[in-house]
Structures are given as C-alpha cells and as structure tokens.
Amino acid sequence: MKFKHQKTNDILNWFEKISAIPRCSKNEYAICQWLISWAKDNNFETKTDKSNNILIKVPASQGSENAPIIILQGHLDMVCEKTPESNHDFTKDPIKLIYDETWISADKTSLGADNGIAIAFAMALALDKEIYHPPLELLFTVDEETGLHGANALEAGFFEGRILINIDSEDEGHLTIGCAGGLNSHLSLPIEWTTVPQSQLININIGGLKGGHSGVDIHTERANAIKVLARTLSIIQKKVNINIANISGGTAHNAIPRNAKALVCVASQHIETVKSLVQDIETGFKSEYKNTDSDLFIKVDTRLEKAKISENTQQIIDFLIALPHGVATMSNSTKVESSNNLAQVSIENGQLKVLTSQRSSVESRLEALTNKVEAVTRLVGGTIYHDTHYPAWQPNIASPLLAQSQKTYENLFEGQKPVVEVMHAGLECGIIGNKVSGMDMISIGPTIKSPHSPNEKIHIDSIGRVWDFLIALLQKK
C-alpha cells in the first residue's frame, strides 16, 4: 500500500518487519538479535548490556561530526492483548496489520505501535543518506511495559548523549515534557475452602469492554471488567446466597481489564433467579456505560460438578468493591494527577491474588493512594507487597530542547503551536533523567488510539508529520 508521504512508506515497511517478530514483554530476544544483525549489516557500532538493552551508534552527516549527540529512544516490547475469539499465539505468530485510508490496526490483537513505531522511525532515519543530522545514538530498551525494567537496568556510561528524544508519546502535535510516576501493588487474601461433592455452578462472564491504557485512557471512565464483576456478584449475593469457586480477570498492570469471570456455586432452586438477575444487571450496566462500552455483556452458563467453594465469598466481593479504581486526583480541571488501575484478579494456591497499579505525578499523592490500597487490604486480613516503582518525570519549562522544538514546529507547520503537556503514563525519560544528570528530553510520537488493547490503531498521516518535525528538529540541533 502506498501513501502520499513517501517516508511513511519506508517507516511502515520497517514496522511491518518488526510486527512479524514476536516481542511481548520479557520475550524480546528475537527482536534484539534481529536489530543487532541489521546494525552489523549496515556497519553501525552496536552494544548491549546485561539486560539486552541495545545501543546503536549512527555516524553524523559530513560537517556535523562535532554537533551534540542526539539519542532517539524507544522500547522493544509490546503489550500483548487479544479478543476472546482470537487464536493468535503471541509467542510465534506475526501481528496481522489491517490498513484503511486513515488508520492501521491489527486483526483482533493489540497492534504494537506502542512502541514498535519508534524502532521503525529510528531505522528509517539511520539509513536515509539524504538527511543531514548530528551523531545519533539509537537506544532501545527491553521490558518497558511491565514496569520500565530495561530503563531501570541502564548503567552509567552505556550512552554518551545528553539530549534525548523519546518516541513513545501518542498524540502528534504534542510535546511531552513530563510524566507520572508509578508503583504496582500485589495483594493476597486467604480463602477458606469447602469441598462440595455435587455443586450447581454458574459461570458469570463479563466481556465486550474497550479496556485501554491505564494511564492515557483512565480519564475516559471506561468500564473495568473486575469492578463490573464484583458489583454483579454483590447484587446477586443480596438476593441469593452464592459461593465463589473461581474468579479471574485482567491481563496486565497497565491495561484496563476488558474481561473477567467468576464461577459460583448456587442452590439449584435459585438458578433461574440468578439468570433473571443477571439479565437485569446487564441492562443496568449497558445503560450506565452506553457512552463508553456499548458492547458490554454478561453471559452465564451452568454445569453440575464437584467443586471447592469459598466460605468467605462476601469478604472477597467486598474487597474488590472497596479497592480504588480510576481517577483519584486532578492537577487542574482537565489533567489527571493520580489514578489507580484495579488490574488483575485470580486465585492461586488457594488464595485470592490482586494486582493494582497506582500512578501520580506527585510522589506524596502516589504514596497516599498506595496507603489507601494497603488500608483496604489490611481491613480484610490480607497481605501486600510493592514493586516496579518508577519516578515521575518532572517538567523543565526552561529546557533548550523544548524551546527549539516549539520554534521548529511552528515554523514547519505555518504557525501551528504544539501542545506542551505532562502525560499521565510512565515514560522511560523519568528513569533516565533520574539516573543521568543534565539530560534534556522531550517525548513525541504519531497519534495512537487505545494502546494496550485490541482496539489499538495508529493514524497514518500523523506518521509523516512526526517524521517531518523530527528531521527539522535534528537539522536545527
């Protein structure tokens, strides 16, 4: 497929090749080896560290050898999400791209434009001999999506540049100069089990939700499948006694849960009552979420078998209802400051396991939100531990790179002013700037909608605009 902006064709050619290589978080070995081979084939100096982060050095254009080094940075992994009906195997299958005149999406899976498009931009630039640019360092990190682990593992001296352009933002025309910090919390609740020889079981399945990125989409107030399930069980429990036999939902700390299900035990004489209740509950939720999740559904099916059932079902339901989810504080009337994602629930080794992900651009409010999660967990007799903490990236309004970026954008696009923003999502700039003093950084990127979900798509025309801006900015520096 040919596009009106010639460079869009080159960039998407590389993106298609990248999309053919499985690269879920913690499974980046193949993409790492492919990139290293590409760099060697093109005589670019390359090195890796113990975590498999990659640095590729691209020599400056003639006459620009003494200019400051520019780092182009992105991450190698992607969030792997698919619809329930998809048979896609993320360990071996290529992502199938779907093109229309305006957008590129994938076939029932996440697209991986977050952040494969950064790799594609860097590769296209490195091979373009007609572009005048300073010395470049292409910095590609691993395992970003599960907690920015690759960036956390970077060691002093791995790169030389002190000017960094991150290509992991998702709105063309926006210059990101700061981001939220975050922390993941792992919650455990003991469950008292009883074995029932012949149990009438009902499977309650929540689906059809949009989900999305738990940072950039949290303000949309889309339905959280775990919350919808907990509320459904609570309504049923008030009318009919039920006992949970199993419960699960969510896929990743940074994805709003799209699906959740519970297997519950109920007396046979109450089966029809529960089915009727679920129909009414579904109608209520469809009305509540008609503007965000119009395809929401609640399905039930029944079976008769031996099962272990929970004796503290009410406690489990109350726990999931009480845990915070969504926007917690706003920095002003339009910007999210703090939020929580009730990300995953499961039963493992006889215990209820819950993962929550807190974000905030203010460390004290991140701590306050985490304290709330801790308090709810303690009140139900659970335990908790935290990991994958990453710092907020505090904006530098006096940044020379920002000033040059604003001027370049306005000159290039006939007076249009870029939006300067702080993003409510984790970017590796926060960690890199915390590790290396004196870094001057911005984040840019083409327009991507609904990342971290099967609805992810990238706006085709925005790719060419970002390319033009990036090249103009490099030539100014």
Tell me, yes or no, whether 380 and 418 share the same domain: no
Amino acid at 370: T
Interval 112-143: pLDDT, tens: 999 999 999 999 999 999 999 999 999 999 99
Tell me, yes or no, whether 382 and 427 share the same domain: no
Annotated catalytic residue, options 28, 77, 81, 114: 77
What was the pLDDT predicted at 98?
Answer: 98
Phi first, then psi, for residue 30 (nearest 5°) are -65, -45
Interval 85-106: pLDDT, tens: 999 999 999 999 999 999 999 9
- Report residue 415's pLDDT band, with 50, 70 and 90 as the boundaries: confident
- Report residue 4's pLDDT band, with 50, 70 and 90 as the boundaries: confident
Interval 27-71: pLDDT, tens: 999 999 999 999 999 999 999 999 999 999 999 999 899 999 999
Length of the chain: 477
d(CA 201, CA 430): 48
Residue 78 domain flag: yes
Tell me, yes or no, whether 135 and 207 share the same domain: no
Considering 390, 418, 450, which residue would you say is the last residue of a domain? 390
Annotated catalytic residue, options 10, 81, 114, 144: 144
d(CA 227, CA 284): 14
Report, as an integer, the average pLDDT of 223-239. Answer: 98
Please give the C-alpha separations between residue 355 and each of 183, 338, 451, in angstroms, as whole numbers.
11, 17, 20
Amino acid at 242: I
Average predicted confidence (pLDDT) for the chain: 96
Tell me, yes or no, whether 175 and 202 share the same domain: no
Considering 364, 390, 416, which residue would you say is the last residue of a domain? 390
- Report residue 1's pLDDT band, with 50, 70 and 90 as the boundaries: low
Tell me, yes or no, whether 12 and 79 share the same domain: yes
Q: What is the CATH number of the domain that holds 326?
A: 3.30.70.360
Residue 203 domain flag: yes
Q: By three-state DSSP, how is residue 208 classified? A: coil
How big, in percent rounded to 5, are the helix, strand and coil portions of the chain? 30, 30, 35
Report, as an integer, the average pLDDT of 165-187. Answer: 97
Report, as an integer, the average pLDDT of 299-306. Answer: 94
How remote is the C-alpha of 181 from its chain's centroid? 14
Q: What is the CATH number of the domain that holds 18?
A: 3.40.630.10
- Residues 452 and 413 sit within 8 Å (Cβ to Cβ): no
| Active-site residue, 101 included | no
Give burial (CB, 10 Å; 0-12/13-18/19+) of 216.
buried
Tell me, yes or no, whether 316 and 379 share the same domain: yes
Tell me, yes or no, whether 23 and 155 share the same domain: yes
- Of 107 and 199, more confident: 107
Tell me, yes or no, whether 193 and 340 share the same domain: yes
For the chain, the domain total comes to: 2
**Strand 212-213 and strand 419-423: pairing?**
unpaired
**Strand 70-75 and strand 163-166: pairing?**
parallel
Tell me, yes or no, whether 96 and 228 share the same domain: no
Report which DSSP code applies to 361: S
Considering 372, 390, 408, which residue would you say is the last residue of a domain? 390
Q: Is the pLDDT of residue 477 over 60?
A: no
| Active-site residue, 77 included | yes
Among residues 205, 256, 221, which one has the least CA distance to residue 85?
205
Please give the C-alpha separations between residue 140 and each of 129, 253, 440, in angstroms, as whole numbers.
22, 22, 18
Q: Is the pLDDT of residue 407 over 60?
A: yes
Amino acid at 32: C
d(CA 153, CA 46): 18
Amino acid at 349: N
Report, as an integer, the average pLDDT of 149-159. Answer: 95
- Report residue 323's pLDDT band, with 50, 70 and 90 as the boundaries: very high
Tell me, yes or no, whether 317 and 363 share the same domain: yes
What was the pLDDT predicted at 5?
Answer: 82
A 10 A CB-CB count for 76 gives 30
Residue 1 domain flag: no
Tell me, yes or no, whether 350 and 229 share the same domain: yes
**Strand 336-348 and strand 326-330: pairing?**
antiparallel
**Strand 255-256 and strand 336-348: pairing?**
unpaired
Site of tokens 């303000």: 219
Tell me, yes or no, whether 301 and 417 share the same domain: no
Residue-number span of the structural domain to which 420 is assigned: 6-179+392-476
What was the pLDDT predicted at 376?
Answer: 98
